[in-house]
Chains A and B, each alone.
Chain A
Amino acid sequence: MKRLVFIGILFLGLAEFGYGAWIPAKAWLSQVLLTHAWQETLENGQSNKPWPWADTWPVLRFTHEPSSTNLLVLQGDSGQALAFGPGLTSQSPMPGSTGNTIISAHRDTHFGFLQQAKAGDMIELQDRQGNHYQYQLIAMDIVDSKTTQLQIDTPDDRVTLVTCYPFNQITTGGSLRYVVTGEKVSERITNKT
């Protein structure tokens, strides 16, 4: 009986730990699966689902050289999408058109690197047509999401990366966000035939 209780608690502890560990594992694994979908997308320019039952698909590739971050950005910033990768806010424009491209991700998985990112760093976005857009990070802000909204119709081309703040906090559901802004500095358009 005592053993049973012991094993029960041990099992609970392992399950709890495993559940916690599954989140970053899933985040990592899905990026691997997404890479395949992205390769197809670059070839056919279509929305390709990374796995048959997925409700999202990759729309952008995101690169931050200094931290060797290489991520595939998904359509939409719902909780389901964010479990697998950074999400592009559905109303926000794609890099090619004027406005604010807003990408959100979890602070402890995909966007953990933002903690090290600094103004002046370059990031790159690649769209489904294979065009590349370079942005220079210009500002890092901590804002309260209860009182702040992001502007989509900015007059210039920019990217906004959003993640939760503080980075090393255990609890979820806080209202603070770490908001990183990048200005478009250059673009490389590939003309596909």
Chain B
Amino acid sequence: MKPASEISSASIFLHCLLQSIAIGLGCVALFTLVIVLLTSSATAQEVALNDQTSDLISINQPQQGSLLFKTSHRHLYRYAPVLNTDVAMDITAMTARVRLTQTFRNQGQDWVEGIYVFPLPENAAVDHMRMQIGERVIEGQIKERQQAKRIYEKARASGRKAALIEQERPNMFTNSVANIGPGETIKITIEYQQSISYSNERFSVRFPMTITPRYMPGKPLPTMEESLPASAGMGWALNTTEVPDASRISPPVLDEGETPVNPVNMHINLNAGIPLAAINSLYHPIDMTRGKNGKAKITLSAKKVPADRDFVLQWLPATSHAPRAALFTERKQGTEGNDQFYSLMMVMPPVGEIPQALPREVVFIIDTSGSMGGESIRQARSALSLAVKRLKPTDRFNVIQFNSTTHALFNQPVMANQYNINRAIDYVDGLKAGGGTQMRPALNLALSYPVQKQYMQQVVFLTDGAVGNETALFQIIHNKLDDVRLFTVGIGSAPNSFFMSKAAQFGRGTFTYIGNISEVTEKMVTLFGKLETPMMRDLQLHWPENMGKVDVYPKRLPDIYAGEPLVITAKSTALSGEIKITGQRGQQPWSASFPLNSRAKQPGVGVLWARNRIESLMDSLRDGADKSQVRQQVIDTALNHHLVSKYTSLVAVDVIPSRPVEESLKKTAVATNLPHGMQRAKVFGASMAKTATPAQLHMMIGFIVLLLLGAYWGFSGRCSSHRTPQRMSA
């Protein structure tokens, strides 16, 4: 080859090298552009769709709800106000006055409405609410529920701050707070009265902190049928035929591992009125300063605790100071101007000294649904094994487990011989938690065994009660109970105590709560004491004749078991003389008299009476009482005593509008914690798999590369044909 052509070929080579580098760069730039364009258009599309999703579903597919769990809207969380709870509890003898302050702080840039579903003790009588904005305090008014809702909605729309307390269940309430401005803090103080429980010479008060996610049986209701947008909740569950308010009672739940929210701070002022042997908190470390005669100030050792398990405080009277009877009264001006006496009476009948005469037939029901996963199922298994071992050879028994399906160990209750007991223990050891909470078939089965007059028939029901269809279950117990007695054993960090205690009430048994594996033995032994000794039944009250009509709640007196007192609330126009209580203890009649003059004044008893009256009225629905009549009576009682009920709510509205109308308001649900020791995956199903492949992307990139290469080839072909004459001329 000639040098000249070498030079020219070198320059051509350089030229083409540069050209190909330029094309290479061009290709890279083009790919990048293509990819950027694709992804950005995709994101835009996604965003648009995200916004439309809800509309799409509700308009075109009313049935979509059928399968979806609406869970934590994480993108909304960012705006959700931060919540702090302060609890101040004043305990005097057998009643407690609790002031619960929920502080909502909005850290976001938008105006928000905070919605917080929170638990309270199932016997809480909520009678006050205050909204504090800076220095201003607005008292909540009691209104009929719909009316309260309208007042709140109107205030919300007009930009005024407002708060609304509604009752979802006797132990579950919703606090809605509207128009919390960016950076603002609003304090809502809720007050309630409750009676202190006294059992086995031990007083205790429970403060629930979170809600175990409930199972919602039934078919989902079409979203179109939702009566009012206002009645729709923000929860993860869809309303179903059996739980028409499921969306209201299923607040978003945080994952395990997520930093717990809603820290709680507690101050307790205890005035037991009698010398105490011990005060202890079952699940939270406490600090206390003890005073004389059962006085103490108690705080949590950790200044703030995550609201993920129930707080329980117990106090034990010093020996020989355990009360056998007590009477507390409150005198109020009645509607007609005359005096009204409200009384809270506690009587401890002497039961428990003689053994049960009849052998027992015990049916154990154990809940093995998903919400029992983790710590709870271990507690339940351990409690059940203890109970089975405790049976006498003359007793009969069966074990039923249920989750989505029900399974009984034996077809019929069998003799408690060693062989059967061993089989049952093996069976119980192998129980695992998972699946739904279809309680109804299990209850039906347990209550369907034939009546055995020569046996004392008992059902022991171990569950966390995490269901939304309480009413239907109560109805079964009510209808099928006959002479059986139902005892509930509550398991876990935050069981549904309303369900537990009410089921035990309809089952004419007792409710035992086990919150920790270490308590199993002690609590179960106490329960065995109740199961194995005869109860006091057919209890009747004989008031002095000069007292006139006495309105007593509960209307139907319960059976009394070993270690349990009879507690009643009464309203009368006079209070003097002696009350006589009669009953049947085992086979023997029993009676006792108590003077009504030795009594202690106790404010708040009137509210407790009213709450019990409302409960009794609501229970009467199970007996087929007229719905609208009951509703009216509940509303009258609730309005009279300023009480929140199923049909009445507390509402507070600021006088001054604060949100400019042109700014929008974001509705946000405040999350609750997953109860301590629970596994989320057991309750909330599966998250969805990744279901896209990069096949198209790769093929497209490859295709573009080849296309460009082809184009370059064609182009460079022309490029060299241009050059050929040049070379020839050279």
Contact = CB atoms under 8 A, between A and B. Distances in A.
Contacts of A13: 702-706, 709
B620 interface: no
B13 interface: yes
A150 B697 contact: no
Interface string A151-193: 1111110101011111001111111110101000000000000
Nearest to B57: A141
A153 B435 contact: yes
B219 A156 contact: yes
Nearest to B241: A155
B301 interface: no
B63 A153 contact: no
A151 B17 CA distance: 60
A150 B693 contact: no
Given A21-B699, A141-B61, A181-B64, 14 more contacts: A13-B706, A20-B698, A23-B698, A98-B405, A108-B696, A139-B67, A146-B75, A150-B686, A151-B69, A155-B217, A155-B436, A155-B438, A166-B49, A181-B67
A87 B690 CA distance: 11
Interface stretch (B39-47, B123-131, B271-279): B39-47
B49 to A, nearest CB: 6
Interface string B698-730: 111111111001001100000000000000000
A162 B681 CA distance: 19
Nearest to B240: A155
B215 interface: yes
Contacts of B686: 89, 91-92, 102, 149-150, 152
Interface in B1-43: 13, 16-17, 20, 24, 27, 38-39, 42
A24 B695 contact: yes
Nearest to B237: A151
Given A150-B69, A170-B700, A82 B20 contact: no
A19 B699 CA distance: 7
A140 interface: yes
Interface of B: 13, 16-17, 20, 24, 27, 38-39, 42, 45-46, 49-50, 53, 56-57, 61, 63-64, 66-75, 215, 217-219, 369-370, 403-405, 435-436, 438, 681, 684-706, 709, 712-713
A109 B695 contact: yes
Contact of B64 (A9, A97, A141): A141
Interface string A14-26: 1111111111100
A1 to B, nearest CB: 7
Contacts of A177: 688, 691
Contacts of A17: 698-699, 701-703, 705-706
A151 B70 CA distance: 10
Nearest to B680: A149
Interface in A1-47: 1-2, 5-6, 9-10, 12-24
Contacts of A156: 219
Contacts of A142: 49, 53, 56-57
B75 A147 contact: yes
22 contacts: A9-B27, A9-B705, A10-B706, A17-B698, A20-B697, A20-B698, A22-B695, A23-B694, A23-B695, A24-B693, A92-B685, A97-B404, A99-B404, A99-B436, A111-B691, A142-B49, A142-B57, A143-B68, A147-B74, A152-B685, A170-B697, A181-B67
A50 to B, nearest CB: 19
B13 A141 contact: no
A144 interface: yes
Contacts of A150: 67-69, 685-688
A79 to B, nearest CB: 6
B404 A98 contact: yes
A153 B61 contact: no
Given A19-B698, A23-B698, A138 B688 contact: no
Interface in A85-113: 87, 89, 91-92, 97-100, 102, 104-109, 111
5 nearest A-B pairs in the assembled complex, by CB-CB distance: A17-B702, A20-B699, A20-B698, A13-B705, A16-B702
Given A17-B703, A91-B681, A144-B53, A2 B16 contact: yes
A69 interface: no
A143 B53 contact: yes
B68 A141 contact: yes
A175 B49 CA distance: 11
Contact of A155 (B218, B691, B702): B218
Contacts of B75: 146-147
B250 to A, nearest CB: 12
Contacts of A152: 685-686
Interface residues of A, number: 77
A116 interface: no
B57 A108 contact: no
A136 B551 CA distance: 58
Contact of B688 (A2, A153, A155, A162): A162
B246 to A, nearest CB: 12
A146 B74 contact: yes
A27 B709 CA distance: 29
A10 B713 CA distance: 11
Interface of A: 1-2, 5-6, 9-10, 12-24, 77-79, 82-83, 87, 89, 91-92, 97-100, 102, 104-109, 111, 138-156, 158, 160, 162-166, 169-177, 179, 181
Nearest to B696: A170
B38 A171 contact: yes
B699 to A, nearest CB: 3
Nearest to B15: A2
A16 B369 CA distance: 49
Contact of B691 (A24, A100, A162): A162
A138 B60 CA distance: 12
Contacts of A91: 681, 685-686
A144 B404 CA distance: 27
Contacts of A10: 706, 709
A166 B219 CA distance: 29
A145 B39 CA distance: 19
A106 B692 contact: yes
Contacts of A24: 693, 695
B681 to A, nearest CB: 7
B66 A139 contact: yes
A2 B723 CA distance: 16
Given A16-B701, A17-B702, A89-B689, A138 B63 contact: yes
Contacts of B218: 155
B66 to A, nearest CB: 6
A111 B688 CA distance: 15
Contact of B689 (A82, A109, A170): A82
Counting chain B CB atoms within 10 Å of each CB, which of A22, A102, A104, A152 scores highest? A152
A119 to B, nearest CB: 9
A99 B215 CA distance: 13
Nearest to B697: A170
B693 A151 contact: no
Nearest to A156: B219
Contacts of B705: 9, 12-13, 16-17
Contacts of A162: 688-689, 691
Given A9-B709, A147-B75, A148-B70, A104 B17 contact: no
A156 B67 CA distance: 10
A21 B92 CA distance: 77
A175 B702 CA distance: 26
Nearest to B238: A151
Nearest to A165: B49
Counting chain B CB atoms within 10 Å of each CB, which of A16, A19, A149 scores highest? A149
Contacts of A23: 693-695, 698
Counting chain A CB atoms within 10 Å of each CB, which of B17, B39, B693 scores highest? B693
A105 B17 contact: no
A140 B696 CA distance: 24
Contacts of A176: 46, 49-50, 53
Given A107-B692, A139-B61, A153-B435, A147 B72 contact: yes
Counting chain A CB atoms within 10 Å of each CB, which of B369, B405, B681, B685 scores highest? B685
